[in-house]
Amino acid sequence: MLAHDMPTSVIDWMAKAIGGGEVTKLERHVAKREAWTVDLKRPDGSSLQGFLRMERHPKTDDPWPLTREVAIVDALYETPVPVPKVYASGGPFDAVLFERIAGRADLQNMPLEQQRPVMEHFMDILADWHTLDVGALKLPAMARPSTSYECALWEMDLVLRKWSEFLANYRDPLLTYGVDWLKRFAPAKFERISLLHGDCGPVNFMFEGNRVTSIIDWEWAHLGDPMEDLGNLCVREFWNPSGGLQGLLSRYEKRSGIPTDPKIVLYYRVQTQMRGMVPIAWMTETRAHPREPLAWWLCYRYIGDRATCEAIAECMGIELRVPEFPDASGGGDGDAAASAIAEAAAWALREDIAPALSNSFAKSRVNEAEVLVGCLQMLNRYGATIDRIEQDELGELLGRRPASTKEGLAELDNAIRQSRFDDEKVLRYLANRAFRAEWLYGPAARIYPDRRWSPL
């Protein structure tokens, strides 16, 4: 008997899709969009290894629905771009059954001597697909930008519209500043319009040995400037270090014939960060559904905020300095009883529950729970101290110390919206704030420790 919480209708649909038979394996896969590894046995005794994706709660206003992703993958199947075959789509909850491609996605865990040839092969594939004639592909309806400004801002505007209800009442000076920066420094040129992945690089491709076997996760695919995908690559390699990026742009340019401009690539590095910031803020500020991996979202947010500040600073030629953090040797100034409770909960999760689990998804969830308890402990111990530092620095920036950090951030956000700011002063404050938040949420940030931008 398979242990799972997949709707029976989806299981029945899969069996029917392969001409009858039965599902012999169901294992939840850790991913942003719900996914399962699936084994099926056909009536003739042959087996099929599949990868199922589904949306239990599809949104009618979603500009990146699973059905769109499926159509893009289907359109690429007969091209040189390696993508999985779509066995069946249109099931309950928009379920789609993909071919399960051989290989793995964790290039960051491989030895350096393997990382480089895999990345070089990926760059060759990227060059080939960027030179495809998009008019000849049977793609779903997609907007086609006609100016460099549209290339730079179209997807960002789409993100802002998608989460407009949340953003109407949410004020984050870094988000406001970042969007303003993208508009002011949008590239003045582009070479061609290509089909972009929108989130390409390590973890979003499968590999075996030294070769890429499949490009996956086409959720954010769209038409635009190929330099954007190179900026995506910088971001993916930041989160999943895979031997660095030096020399890869020249390899891409030689194979594709598309001129590469490192300055524009660095711009799109910021753009990729900003597109991700909005849904991450939404997930962490609106109390995500318990099914979501909140520990990971906290990690993405607080490392991501710091990385965004560093990326903008590099484009601006501003050197940032890491601020001092509160003294952690004394245990902080939070409630001692709350700290003791948190320590007991973390111990139980780590020492008593995790070792008794055999299911990989359950183990992952227990580890996430321990991280969340650790974050609560840090907030209890040092949250008030960090808040006082924030008020002091906001006072220096604004000319008066605000009554609360929330009030000061709202005033700063308003100043940015009215263009009443000095770039360097504002960016230095935002970076200090991001560095401190990454420290405060250290238990989550340690999911991806020591992340730094690789030079081009």
3-state secondary structure the chain: CCCCCCCHHHHHHHHHHCCCCEEEEEEEECCCCCEEEEEEECCCCCEEEEEEECCCCCCCCCCCCHHHHHHHHHHHCCCCCCCCCEEEECCHHHCEEEECCCCECCHHHCCHHHHHHHHHHHHHHHHHHHCCCHHHCCCCCCCCCCCHHHHHHHHHHHHHHHCHHHHCCCCCHHHHHHHHHHHHCCCCCCCCCEEECCCCCCCCEEEECCEEEEECCCCCCEEECHHHHHHHHHHHHHHCCCCCCCCHHHHHHHHHCCCCCHHHHHHHHHHHHHHHHHHHHHHHHCCCCCCCCHHHHHHHHHHHHHHHHHHHHHHHCCCCCCCCCCCCCCCCCCCHHHHHHHHHHHHHHHHHHHHHCCCHHHHHHHHHHHHHHHHHHHHHHHHHHHHHHHHHHHHHHHCCCCCCHHHHHHHHHHHHHCCCCCHHHHHHHHHHHHHHHHHHCHHHHCCCCCCCCCCC
Q: Give the pLDDT of residue 1.
A: 46
Query: Are 370 and 437 in a shared domain?
Result: yes
Let me know if residue 273 belongs to a domain.
yes
Residue 199 sits in the same domain as residue 181: yes
255 in a domain, yes or no?
yes
Is residue 333 situated within a structural domain? yes
Final residue in a domain of this structure, among 99, 119, 147: 99
Q: Please check whether residue 162 is in contact with residue 261, taking contact to mean a CB–CB distance below 8 angstroms.
A: no
Q: How many domains does the chain have?
A: 3
In a domain, 243, yes or no: yes
Torsion of CA 373, 376, 382, 388, to 10 degrees: 160
Whether 84 and 120 share a structural domain: no
Is there a contact between 232 and 272 (Cβ–Cβ < 8 Å)? yes
User: Which of 99, 134, 161 is the last residue in one of the domains?
Assistant: 99
Question: Residue 3: what pLDDT?
Answer: 60
From CA 315, how far away is CA 264, in angstroms rounded?
A: 10
The answer to whether residue 307 is domain-embedded is no
Q: Which stretches of the chain drop beneath a pLDDT of 50?
A: 1
CATH number of the structural domain spanning residue 251? 3.90.1200.10
Predicted TM-score (pTM) of this structure: 0.90
Q: Which residues contact 416 (CB under 8 A, 6 or more apart)?
A: 173, 176, 177, 180, 426
Q: Same structural domain for residues 87 and 166?
A: no
Q: What does the angle CA 350 – CA 351 – CA 354 come to, to the nearest 5 degrees?
A: 60
Q: Domain span at residue 351?
A: 316-444
Which one of 99, 117, 134 terminates a domain?
99
Residues 221 and 114 in one domain: yes
Q: Do 205 and 352 belong to one domain?
A: no
Q: Which one, of 378, 412, 377, 375, lies nearest residue 395 by Cα?
A: 412
- The answer to whether residues 142 and 277 belong to one domain is yes
- 273 and 145 in a common domain: yes
Rounded to 5 degrees, what angle do the CA atoms 279, 271, 240 make? Answer: 75
Question: What is residue 61's predicted lDDT score, i.e. its pLDDT?
Answer: 74
279, 224: one domain: yes
Q: Chain centroid to CA 303: how far?
A: 11
297 in any annotated domain: no
User: Is 118 contained in some domain?
Assistant: yes
CA-based angle 108:370:443, to the nearest 5? 60
At residue 404, what are phi and psi to the nearest 5 degrees? -150, 160
Residues in a beta bridge with 96:
53, 89
Q: Rounded to an integer, what distance in angstroms lies between the CA atom of residue 416 and that of residue 180?
A: 8
**Is 455 a domain residue?**
no
Domain co-membership, 81 together with 141: no
Regarding whether 238 and 179 lie in a shared domain, the answer is yes
Planar angle of CA 200, 202, 204, nearest 5 degrees = 55
Residue the block writes with tokens 């589904």: 54
Q: Do residue 194 and residue 48 come from a single domain?
A: no
